[in-house]
Chain A
Amino acid sequence: MNPIILLIEDDPQIRRFLRASLVTQGYELIEAGTGREGLALAAAQVPEVVLLDLGLPDMEGLEVIKQLRSWSSVPIIILSARGQERDKVANLDAGADDYLTKPFGVGELLARMRVALRKVAPAEEGKQEVLYSLGNIKVDFERRLVFRGQEEIHLTPIEYKLLSVLIKHRGKVVTHRQLLKEVWGPSHIDQNPYLRIFILNLRRKLEDDPTRPQYLVTEPGVGYRLRDD
């Protein structure tokens, strides 16, 4: 059965373009023009991914996320304009899973959706991964070793923890706050400068060109993402 995608978006042109793109990719699309309608559809049809536009006529996107999260853990991908970084962070911290900045290409959208759908399959995530590889990077979780090509790379405990959190959320954006909370603990969520320095150090150890990273990319104003394709 095709995965059901709920699109909550008030602009008919964007809906038309997404409908054309997603249906040809084998998704079943249900559409809502307002937040209320979207919430009703989410309850009635139980979609596997929700695409949520942040400029709805009837309610704030944040409100939709909060109401949805009160009873559902369905992945939510936000569609937002550039320059709304604060909103994005707030929405992500409120429970949204990922975001796309308008205008976006279909390739980007499909990649985000694949990541979101993967998360839904809980059976695969149930047991601890043993080995993870990304390009020429390999991580052996059992022995806590990291390789770049054949070479073993020494990571400090924090760097290793940071990398493993990013691998856990691979393909998905992780906000600064989330990373600080998961790596260092809730009392360090304001230590952005430290996070930046550790990310930089991690890049210098893992990336071929740390200034133009291939794996560990920055999401400006929001957080970091470990590329997964």
Chain B
Amino acid sequence: MPDPGPGVVPQETEPSRSGPENLLVCLSPSPFSIPLIRATKRIADAQQARWYALYVETPSHDRLSPENQEKVAQALYLAAKLGAQAVKVSGFRIGDEILAFARENQVSKIFVGKPYARRWRRFLGLSLVDHLIWNCGPIDVFVISGEGEEAPPAPAPGPKPRRLLREYLLAAGGVGLCTGLGFILFPYLALTNLAMIFLLTVVIISSFLARGPAIFSSFFSVAAFAFFFVPEYYSFAVANTEYAITLMVMLLVSLLVSGLTTRVRHQARVSRQQERQTAALYEMSQNLGAINSLEELLEVAAEQITRIFDCRVSLLMPGSTDKLEIRAGQPYADEYGKEGMVAKWVFRHGHLAGAGTDSLHAVKGIYLPLIASQNIIGVLRLATDQPDRILGADSLRLLEALGSQVGIAIERENLSRQAQAAQLQIEAEQMRNTLLSSVSHDLRTPLTVIAGSASSLVEGEKNLDAVTKQELAQSIYEEAKRLDRLVHNLLEMSRLQSGQAMFNKEWYVLEEVIGCALAQLDSQLHDHPVSINLPTDLPLVKIDALLLERVVINLLENSMKYTPPGTSLEISGRIEGQELLVAVADRGPGLPPAELERIFEKFYQVSPGSARGAGLGLTICRSIIEAHGGRIWAANRTDGGAVFNFTIPLAEGAITLDKNLPEMQKDSR
């Protein structure tokens, strides 16, 4: 046995091999697989190597007892838990498959258990270890001995005896039929061609029946052929030595054919199963990929697993209090809290548990941890009357694969949600910063005027004449009012943006709203004559009057800010279809066409710094108008100036102004 020390790497080692070594441990159904895995794990840890655990599934795997099949599954499971990459391949020659896998994955050391081989195979040097050692090339092979010779794995009882008996009878019947047919054709056919018919029968039988009946049919057909059709007739004695050769060849060919057919059938079965698993995994990943909420994801996963395994599925994840909650799938009764305890244990330890498994099997559900890349994020519960159906090696592997897919999908969903939240936070942060810098500038300007004027009044009491004092006081008053409007706009903005604004919609007359806006701006409007053009028969509109007043104020203020003193402003309104259209127009320089949309963005100013205001006014207008179900947009007038339009949808049953209203009946008191 080669020295497993790290320094003794054979000369033939490929020079390209670098980085951590790859080890391979070969598994069998024997209980010795478990210590073998642990031994390999220790060596892999010591060498900081990656390691694979490989099981080669041959046709004989099917003939293993369910206990032994389970042992294989558990060995693979354990290896995976200990950090190995557990792999199952199917093939016919275990040794060749192992070596092919080892070369493919650049394995440098192979670990096998000390084998049990039948005496004659050992004698002929046909044991697996011999095969590996002779054919391994540059790879080291380590044979690890267990506690004494291991017993050969107990063969499975095979198909139920009754079914087997039926198959033997079928095989005998088939050969009997063929013999009958032989009697009919005997006069017309040469003996060799008759032999062909028997061979065909064997092929047909072995392609449908198990190996035993197939071999039986080989012997039986050769015997029947020899008895009935080879001279001496009706005796097993053979007249001519040539016939003896024919019979020998026929027996060998039929045995070979039946063996081959069984192999092909096994191969087909394995690939069908693999295809089914691949399809299930593919469908799951397809379905999980097209989902954008965690709830939906969990629902789809539960549904999919329910469909594949035909059982009751529940998905548990820790809730807000870190307690596991059913987040999707079927609710279930939890007597004495046992189910919950098992779910908790599985969530903490990351091992399969529950009904039919080795640990905590006194419950109704099978619990599988959902493992994401870093930690366990949930538990999958399956409940069925036959847990063995799910815990079989193949379906368990599929279940685990599905579970890890779901785990990763959940993790991905969580991560994307976190990323989204982080993005939102960054945006909010940026907005706060912009707001702060923009607002602090806008607050400072009036504050500077106020502080300056007030200090002049305080300090220069004696030197100032009455007119100057009056002017200073007036500018303090006006700047304070401007400050008030700015603060009001900011509050309105944050209220609208946070979604906390409570709309107080009532029936209002547009004229009155405009009148209030004009009254508030009174002192500022003396430089800009305002003309109002409203039809007298406008219907009432259902609006929040204070907010709409804010829209008109902001639009007027905006127009005053960007147009030279002395130019006129116009407010007009008219009905267009099912909407009331209001326009605030000016005779200023107009807007650059590229800016028509952007001016409604937060903090946007056509020429930053040139004029006053935080660039919030129009954004607030847009928020308010959109909350009323209307639209707002800016345009340039054909004959010069800009125009800001907004619409308010007309409600059903609005009262029109021009109608002669019946005077409401006075209460008789």
Contact = CB atoms under 8 A, between A and B. Distances in A.
A146 to B, nearest CB: 17
Interface string B91-110: 00000000000000000000
Given A85-B546, A212-B519, A197 B532 contact: no
B518 A211 contact: yes
B666 A185 contact: yes
B130 interface: no
Interface in A147-165: 156-158
Given A83-B491, A187-B667, A211-B534, A194 B519 contact: no
A187 to B, nearest CB: 5
A29 to B, nearest CB: 22
Contacts of B491: 83
B515 A196 contact: no
A213 interface: yes
A86 B546 CA distance: 12
Interface string A63-98: 000000000000000000011011000000000000
Q: Which of A158, A187, A196, A200 has the largest number of chain B CB atoms within 10 A?
A: A196
Nearest to A180: B664
Contacts of B518: 211-212
A211 B488 contact: no
B10 to A, nearest CB: 86
Contact of B540 (A186, A193, A211, A221): A193
Contact of B664 (A188, A192, A221): A188
Given A200-B657, A221-B546, A103 B484 contact: yes
A210 B545 contact: no
A197 B512 CA distance: 10
Q: Which of A103, A199, A211, A213 has the largest number of chain B CB atoms within 10 A?
A: A211
A194 B511 contact: no
A34 interface: no
Contacts of A158: 663-664
A191 interface: yes
A105 interface: yes
Contacts of A21: none
Contacts of A156: 663
B515 A218 contact: yes
Contacts of A86: 504
A3 to B, nearest CB: 26
A8 B661 CA distance: 45
A102 B668 CA distance: 41
Interface in A179-229: 183-188, 191-194, 196-200, 210-213, 217-218, 220-221
B663 A211 contact: no
B546 A220 contact: yes
B545 A186 contact: no
A220 B666 contact: no
Contacts of B540: 193, 196-197
A15 to B, nearest CB: 18
Query: Interface residue tally of chain B, by bracket?
Result: 20 to 34
A184 B516 CA distance: 25
B661 A218 contact: no
Contact of B667 (A186, A193, A198): A186
Interface string B633-669: 0000000000000000000000101000101111111
Interface in B483-540: 484, 488, 491, 504, 506-509, 511-512, 514-516, 518-519, 532, 534, 540
Contact of A211 (B507, B532, B657, B668): B532
A200 to B, nearest CB: 5
Nearest to B663: A158
B521 to A, nearest CB: 11
A177 to B, nearest CB: 13
Contact of A82 (B488, B506, B509): B488
A197 B511 contact: no
B480 interface: yes
B546 to A, nearest CB: 5
B481 interface: yes
Contacts, number: 79
Nearest to A194: B664
Nearest to B512: A218
A184 B546 contact: no
Contacts of A157: 663
A210 B511 contact: yes
A191 B488 contact: no
B411 interface: no
B655 A211 contact: no
B649 to A, nearest CB: 17
A221 B545 CA distance: 7
Nearest to A199: B512
Contacts of B665: 184
A220 B516 CA distance: 7
Given A103-B481, A184-B666, A200-B657, A213 B507 contact: no
Contacts of B664: 158, 184, 188, 191, 194
A201 B491 CA distance: 35
A229 to B, nearest CB: 15
Nearest to A82: B488
A173 B519 CA distance: 16
Given A193-B540, A211-B515, A188 B481 contact: no
A213 B545 contact: no
Nearest to A103: B484
A157 B545 CA distance: 28
B164 to A, nearest CB: 89
A207 to B, nearest CB: 10
B532 A185 contact: no
Given A103-B481, A197-B657, A218 B516 contact: yes
Contacts of B663: 156-158
Contacts of B669: 185
B481 A200 contact: no
Contacts of B516: 218, 220
Contacts of A218: 512, 515-516, 519
Nearest to A220: B516
B667 A188 contact: yes
B549 interface: yes
B483 to A, nearest CB: 9
B477 interface: yes
A141 to B, nearest CB: 19
A218 B512 CA distance: 7
Interface of A: 82-83, 85-86, 103, 105, 156-158, 183-188, 191-194, 196-200, 210-213, 217-218, 220-221
Given A156-B663, A198-B661, 18 more contacts: A83-B488, A83-B491, A85-B504, A157-B663, A184-B666, A185-B668, A188-B664, A193-B506, A194-B661, A196-B507, A197-B661, A199-B512, A200-B657, A210-B511, A211-B534, A212-B519, A218-B519, A221-B545
Shortest 5 CB-CB contacts between residues of A and residues of B: A185-B667, A193-B507, A158-B663, A211-B532, A220-B516
